[in-house]
Amino acid sequence: PPEIVGSALALQNAIGFAITMVSIAIGTRVIADWGNHVAWLLLPGPLLGLIGLWPLWRRKAVSTG
């Protein structure tokens, strides 16, 4: 329903913020223990995001081009 869109977006934002805080807390401990090379473990997330967005970019390029 349209009347709860704002609440849903606020909830989604709060969940994303909580996940980010946990990731930062865990990441700083792991890097302190295992070294900076552990940062490479973060690479799959952005790569999968880019791969997931690729069809949307192609569709937009085709519709505007």
Segment 6-45, tens digit of pLDDT: 999 999 999 999 999 998 899 888 888 888 888 888 899 9
- pTM (two decimals): 0.57
* Residue bearing the bigger pLDDT, 61 or 50: 50
Distance in angstroms (rounded) separating the CA atoms of residues 56 and 60:
6
Burial of 19 (0-12, 13-18, 19+ CB in 10 A): exposed
Residue 46 has pLDDT above 90, yes or no: yes
Residue 61 has pLDDT above 80, yes or no: no
What pLDDT score does 65 carry? 63
Sequence-ordered list of residues with C-beta below 8 angstroms from that of 39, at least 6 positions apart, any chain: 31
Distance in angstroms (rounded) separating the CA atoms of residues 29 and 38:
11
